[in-house]
Amino acid sequence: MIQFPVRFRVRQIGIDGNTMGPSRILLCEEPGRFLIGKSEEADVPLTGDAVSRRHLSLLLDTHDVRVRDESSTNGTYVNGTRVDEVVLAVGDQISIPGWLLELLAPADSPATVTRIAGVAVDESLVSRLIMTDDDTPPPPRRTFPDAEFDGKEMVSIEALRASGHPVEETRFCAVGGGLGSFVWVDHLRCYGVPASDIRAIGTEEVCYQTYKRYCKNSQIPDHERLRSNSLSRPDNIWGFPGYAMREVGKGIGVKGIFQVFGEPTLAESYTPRAGDVFESLDIEAKRIGWSEMFIKAQVLGLRKTSDGRYAVAFKLWGGEASGMARNRYLIADVVHLSTGYPATRFVEDFQTFITNHPDNRAQVANAYEPHDQIYVEAERRGGPVQVVVRGRGIVASRIIQRLHEARKKNPGIRILHSMRSPLGPRDGAIFRKARRLVRNNVEIQPFNWPKSCWGGDLRVEYERAGEEDRGIMLGQLGGTTTAERSDWIAIMDRGAEEGWYRAVYGNISAFQPIPSPGPDQPDGVQISIDTVEGNVERLNADYLIDCTGLIADIRRAPLLADLLDTYHLPRNHAWRMQDGRAVRGAPSGLRASNDFEIEGLRNGNGRVYAAGTITTGGPYLAVDSFLGLQYSALRSVDHLVTERHHKVRDLGPLRSFGGWCRWMVGARP
C-alpha cells in the first residue's frame, strides 16, 4: 500500500553536475497523474532548454508509484538507466536534463503518528516544517507574479490577461519612483510626452523621500547645505537659473553674494540648502503632474512580452484594493529602472555586534539609520561621553559637526575619529599631475568627483574608454573625500587643540559591550583596534557611529537579482592596479550602453534604460549625483528621439527655449 502524501525531493542540477539552489519537496497528496515538463499545463513546471514541454508523468495509485516518459526529446532516466515506464521504489532517482527527483520514504503523517515516547500526541500536532539539506533558506512563497513569470524570459499578454489580474497599458514606465525616476519623467514631459502616456511606480509618494530620509538621518536637516553644484537641479533640465541665483534673489548678504560670484577660486564652492532642493522638486512635481502619473506600488518583476514590449508586475500599496486585488500588470513600450541603493552598509564587525548583543543596539548606529537619540542622550548626560566616529567621508564630517553642536550642551563629549591609517599632506590621491588636498587626515574635494567628470574632458575620456580603463579611472578619481568647508576643518583643528577630538588609526577588529557603570547610565562599547604599528588598542566608548555608507550591490535588490538571473545580464566590474597591471574586482552595476540602455533587455522596439547607482562602472562616473541622474535621463531620452520608434519629438533650440519659458513661469509642459 502506498501511503499518501507521496514525497519527492526535487533538486536543480547545474552544468557542473552539482546541485544548485535549495531543494524543494514535491508533495503528491492523492492518487493521480502528475505531468512534469516545460508546458504551462504541467502540474510541475520545470525550466531548462533540454526539458521537453511534456517530459514525464508520475503515476500514483494505491499500489505503486510509476514514472512514464512522455516521448521526451532527451529522455527520462531512473538510477542512470533510460526508461519508458517503470515502478519506483523509495530512494530511486529520476533524472532529466537539469533536474533530479528522488522518491522519499513516507513521512509520518498526523494519522499515523500515535505515540512519541509512549505518549499519545496526535491532537497536538500543529504543523510540520519541511527542512532542506542546504543552508540556503527556502525562497519566499509568491503566487504573484511567479505563476506567470517564473522561469520565463518572454510572456504573452494573453497569458497575463488570462491570469485574472488587471492588465493596463502605457508607453513609458519608470520603476523606482525616486529622484532618478522623477528626473527621467521630467525630461519626457519637457520633450512633450503627455502625462497620460507615462507611469512611475514606487513605494513613496514624494520622489525625494528616501533621499531626504538619508539626509535627515546623517544629520543634514533642511537648512543645512548638500554637497551639490548650483546648476545641478533635478527639477530643471536646463539648470538655469541655478540654486545660487535663486538664493541671491532671496537675499543672502554680502558674504553670500561674494561666495556665489567668487566660487570656487575666491571663495568655497557654493552648495544649495537641502530644503531649497526639496521645495523646488515639489514645485516641479506639481508642474509636470507627477501625482497623475505616480502609482504607489512595489514592483515585483519585469519580463519581455512576445509583442516587443515589457510586462511590469506590481503590487499596489495602500488604496482600497486588498489581498490579491492589489496585484496588477502594466505593459509598457519603454521602461526606466532607477531603484537606488538597496541597503545601508553594516560592516562585518558591526553586524556581528548587533547580532550578538541586541540589547546594546542603541549604543551603535550606522549614520544612515535613525540615531538622534544618541545626541539627545549625550547632551543630557552632563558628564563625560566618548563617541567613536568611524570613516572619513562627508558623512563623518557632518556627524562630527553635529557632535560639536552637542558639546554646547555637554562639554564633556569627546570624539574619537577612527580611520584605517593616517594621511599626510602629501598622501592625497594622485591623478596624472593633480594631487588631492589633505587636511586632518581627510582628503578634501568640493564634490565627490572632480568637476570635469560631469561635463568636461574627463567625462569624454571616460565615456570613450574601455571597461578596464573605465574601472581604473573610477578607482583613481573616486574614493572617500569630504567637502571643502572651513567650518569642518576648524572644528577638527580646535578639537585636537583642546583635546576633545582625537584621530585613532587602525582597523576596528571587534566590539564588545561594557556593562552599565551605574543606574541611569547606558551601557558602553569596548572597541578593539588593530593599530598600524601592529598593536591592539582597546577603547571604551559610550557610542559608536559608523559612517561607512551605503551598499550598491544590485543583487541585494530582489527585482534586479531576478532580472540578472532570468536574462543573464552582464555587469560592470571594479578594477584596481596591482603590480603595474589591471586586476578585475567585484561586479558592480548593470552594464549599459553610452545611452544608458540595458541592451540585454532589448525587445524588438522595446527599450529598457537605467540610471543612478545601479549603473555604477558604466558610461558615466558620477552616476548617483543630481547631475548624473540628469545626464543619464538626457542621454536616454535623446536616444529615444534618435531611434524614432516611440514618437518622442526632438527638443530643438526653439522648443527648448519655449519649454524653459514655461518652466520659468511655472506653466505645465
The closest of 348, 346, 388, 386 to 366, measured between CA atoms, is 346
Q: Which is nearer to other proteins, 15 or 131 (CB)?
A: 131
Give the DSSP letter of residue 122. Answer: G
Contacts of 639 (CB under 8 A, 6+ apart): 595, 596, 597, 607, 609
485 vs 493: CA distance, rounded Å: 13
Q: Which is nearer to other proteins, 358 or 653 (CB)?
A: 358
169 vs 307: CA distance, rounded Å: 13
Binding test (CB under 8 A) with other proteins, winner from 117, 254, 586, 665: 117
Binding test (CB under 8 A) with other proteins, winner from 62, 73, 114, 124: 124
By the 10 Å C-beta count (0-12 exposed, 13-18 middle, 19+ buried), 48 is classed as: middle
Contacts (CB under 8 A) with other proteins, residues 202-241: 203-204, 206, 208-210, 212-213, 216, 221-223
Q: Does 141 participate in binding other proteins (rule CB under 8 A)?
A: yes
Minimum separation from the CB atom of position 283 to other proteins (A)? 10
Binding test (CB under 8 A) with other proteins, winner from 1, 126, 586, 654: 126
Contacts (CB under 8 A) with other proteins, residues 355-414: 355-356, 358, 361, 366, 368-370, 372-373, 376-377, 379-380, 408-409
Q: Does 19 participate in binding other proteins (rule CB under 8 A)?
A: no
Q: Does 137 participate in binding other proteins (rule CB under 8 A)?
A: yes
Minimum separation from the CB atom of position 223 to other proteins (A)? 4
Q: Among the candidate windows 43-51, 131-139, 493-501, 601-609, which touches other proteins by CB under 8 A?
A: 131-139
Question: What cell was used for 603?
Answer: 525587445
Minimum separation from the CB atom of position 503 to other proteins (A)? 26
Question: What cell was used for 289?
Answer: 503632474
By the 10 Å C-beta count (0-12 exposed, 13-18 middle, 19+ buried), 586 is classed as: exposed
Long-range contacts of 533-538 (CB under 8 A, 24+ apart): 536/509, 537/504, 537/506
Q: Which is nearer to other proteins, 440 or 613 (CB)?
A: 613
Binding test (CB under 8 A) with other proteins, winner from 98, 234, 522, 619: 522
512 vs 526: CA distance, rounded Å: 5
Q: Does 557 participate in binding other proteins (rule CB under 8 A)?
A: yes
Contacts (CB under 8 A) with other proteins, residues 535-554: 551
Question: What cell was used for 126?
Answer: 500543529
Residue with cell 560631469: 454
Q: Does 138 participate in binding other proteins (rule CB under 8 A)?
A: yes
Minimum separation from the CB atom of position 395 to other proteins (A)? 14
Residues contacting other proteins: total by CB under 8 A: 76
Q: Which is nearer to other proteins, 154 or 376 (CB)?
A: 376
Q: In what order do the strands lie in the sheet with 507-514?
A: 507-514, 524-530, 536-541
By the 10 Å C-beta count (0-12 exposed, 13-18 middle, 19+ buried), 533 is classed as: exposed
Minimum separation from the CB atom of position 557 to other proteins (A)? 7
Minimum separation from the CB atom of position 276 to other proteins (A)? 8
**Residue 10 β-bridge partners:** 24, 101
Minimum separation from the CB atom of position 484 to other proteins (A)? 23
Are 226 and 272 within 8 A, CB to CB? yes
Q: Which is nearer to other proteins, 57 or 548 (CB)?
A: 548
Q: Among the candidate windows 163-171, 497-505, 556-564, 630-638, which touches other proteins by CB under 8 A?
A: 556-564
Contacts (CB under 8 A) with other proteins, residues 317-356: 317, 340-346, 351, 354-356
Contacts (CB under 8 A) with other proteins, residues 234-293: 249-250, 275, 278-279, 282
Residue 155 φ/ψ, nearest 5 degrees: -125, 155
The continuous run of DSSP H or E covering 368 comes out as: none
